[in-house]
Structure 1
């Protein structure tokens, strides 16, 4: 999905995925050590980045949409926290290696041929001993019609995800249904893949 399309989506006055964090992030972010340096990838309008900043983390947000990043700044100001914003196309440009204590990604859906690079970008950005956590829609999401991409080409397959994370210590893996109510775009029973790994 192109930068122009995301800029158009995020140009609505309201926050299209809401202002509250993703439930997976809310439930499991405690695995990240206190005061850690955290990167939020494909973070859109900033709801998870701002939540993590409120929890005391040093947060940087990455997205290709400058409109989404401006809304991240707006939400951070509203909640009186600091979030560093970085405009970057994460399926082409790499984030500096071994820079963060943790990387977080929620529903960052990219074309099938770019998914491995994208996930490795998250993992590469984290220091040895650091944590990577993400939640994405699985390839079974389409019949649920509760949000996410309309093409299986932009969804994730559990076998591929397991292959990507196999070299690392897996702390949490879930493949199945979850209720998600996030603004107007994610609404209802969904089919997701969740991962938390610790980098060697």
Structure 2
């Protein structure tokens, strides 16, 4: 059993069952239909919400326990998701597969894995597709209310601008706020939000 299986064990949802607040606030940016990828979706709170918005969702996670809880959550909400258990260090993101990609607190990734994931996200977005990403900033280490303990895994605005330089950044904000997302994310937190869109192809004469 990996550490995420251990963390997701039990009936309670580690990060709750409500969608991430930032993600839910971006509802107006979602297409009325299309495909979505929920990266490292764990117990399913974000993937299920995306499915409730009418999207065809693929939820990918390394934890079989998390994915099983995601299926139960989806059943209870009357929606269907596609689930895939995979190690994101090896998983093929593909090319131009998704209209929406949600990457919420995927900060288990060290810089090497993070680069691979971010490159995969850029490749997997369709032209016009949108990336919705939230994470912790280095200041989160002072709060200790969730997230990684390794500074290298945290995000700055410069890091995200550089990593997604091929996308059009529509929103990038750093701020501190109190959040309540299950027992896993609880209390004052140093957050960073990114909304970025893949440019449409140029149409020639």
Offset at 1:72? 0.6
Q: Give the root-mean-square deviation of aligned CA atoms.
A: 1.3
Q: How does 1:7-26 map to 2 (within 5 A)?
A: 7-26=5-24
Q: How does 1:88-99 map to 2 (within 5 A)?
A: 88-99=86-97
Unaligned runs of 5+ in 2: 200-205
Moved over 6 A (4+): none
For the 8 Å contact 1:170–1:197, the answer to whether it is kept is yes
For the 8 Å contact 1:53–1:81, the answer to whether it is kept is yes
TM-superposition CA deviations, 1:80-99 (whole Å, max 9, x none): 10011011212332222111
Distance 2:23 2:160 in 1: 18
For the 8 Å contact 2:15–2:182, the answer to whether it is kept is yes
Distance 1:145 1:157 in 2: 17
Alignment of 1:187 onto 2:186: yes
Distance 1:145 1:189 in 2: 9
Distance 1:113 1:8 in 2: 25
SS in 2 for 1:38: strand
Q: How does 1:19-38 map to 2 (within 5 A)?
A: 19-38=17-36
TM-superposition CA deviations, 1:120-139 (whole Å, max 9, x none): 22221111111111101112
Offset at 1:111? 1.0
Q: How does 1:66-145 map to 2 (within 5 A)?
A: 66-109=64-107, 110-145=109-144
In structure 2, the residue matched to 1:46 is 44
TM-score by length of 2: 0.92
Offset at 1:182? 0.2
Q: Which has the larger radius of gyration?
A: 2
In structure 2, the residue matched to 1:175 is 174
Aligned residues: 198
